[in-house]
Amino acid sequence: MTETPLPTPTESAIALAAALKQFAAADRVLLALDFDGTLAPFVDKPKSARALPESKAALEKLERTPDTWVAYVSGRPLSSLEIVTEADEDALLIGSHGVEVRFGRDGVSLDLSDEERSTLTRLGEVLQQLVDSVPGTRLEVKPVGFGVHYRLLEETDGADVVRRAYEAAATVSDSLTIRDGKDIIEFSVRGADKGDGIERLREYTAANAVLFAGDDVTDEDGFRVLRVESGDIGIKVGDGETLAQFRLADEKAVAAMLTLLAEARASRA
Ligand SMILES: [Mg+2]
């Protein structure tokens, strides 16, 4: 373990360094990481997002280390997550907030019932109508739902779009999973969340300790399933209320943390 302190000034930097040291010494560890806003800075074209080079190097080092798993847990559809993470065929990927799962060569799991399919079709129709009527909004098609993007709108117009999207979706079904994210409101016919994704990863990898980092409100579902008493670590990236134990300022601070952890994990006794 290097004695270099985490370069980002946070109130809990020393406590985080101590927790990471303990984490790095565990038998089998899993790093489950959100992508956008955690590893990769936000960009205008979602497909152009890439992890910071320092993070990518640290994750590649961790992936080469025995008994160490790296997984990406994102709200992006799996097909998009595969591109931006530049994932190889062994990658562990959770897309669509836990709905889509790809565990290396074991394949993808996603099976919709007939009822879910028909709800999905109608949901797409009503939300497309809404987006068509409001310039500056955009509909994103997701495997089991839709996201209405409104980043280009003024705050009050954005709030109005969210309200109308709720109303439109309610005409289709009263049992949709709704996620209010950063300038996006999402409606899904399947109710998995990032916490479900992390639990599946924990089971699949048989990890003794899990580290999860994320920046958005939907990442709170991930922090909720962590077992802090068993050495799990939750890291909230950026501002906002959180269940996570630790906070890092931004993607650069995450890169520094991963670099430190990769070194500690590779050199453990
Ligand atoms: Mg994010």
Residue 8 lies in a domain: no
Query: Domain check: are 34 and 162 in the same one?
Result: no
Which of 165, 188, 211 terminates a domain? The answer is 188
pLDDT tens for the chain, 269 residues long, are 445 543 444 557 889 999 999 999 999 999 999 999 999 999 988 899 999 999 999 999 999 999 999 999 999 989 999 999 998 888 899 998 888 888 887 766 666 778 888 999 999 999 999 999 999 999 999 888 999 999 999 999 999 999 999 999 999 999 898 988 889 999 999 878 899 999 999 999 999 999 999 999 999 999 999 999 999 999 999 998 999 999 999 999 999 999 999 999 999 85
Query: Domain check: are 106 and 27 in the same one?
Result: yes
Range of the domain at 150: 114-188
Domain count, the chain: 2
Ligand 1 midpoint to CA 202 (Å): 20
Which of 188, 208, 224 terminates a domain? The answer is 188
Which of 158, 188, 218 terminates a domain? The answer is 188
Question: For the purposes of burial, counting CB atoms within 10 Å of the CB of 183, is it exposed (0-12), middle (13-18) or buried (19 or more)?
Answer: middle
Ligand 1 midpoint to CA 237 (Å): 9
For residue 80, the SS3 value is: helix
CATH number of the domain encompassing residue 180? 3.30.70.1020
Query: Domain check: are 217 and 119 in the same one?
Result: no
Query: Domain check: are 36 and 151 in the same one?
Result: no
Query: Domain check: are 220 and 87 in the same one?
Result: yes
Ligand 1 midpoint to CA 53 (Å): 17
CATH number of the domain encompassing residue 257? 3.40.50.1000
Ligand 1 midpoint to CA 37 (Å): 5
Ligand 1 midpoint to CA 57 (Å): 20
Q: Are residues 248 and 33 in contact, defined by beta-carbon separation less than 8 angstroms? A: no
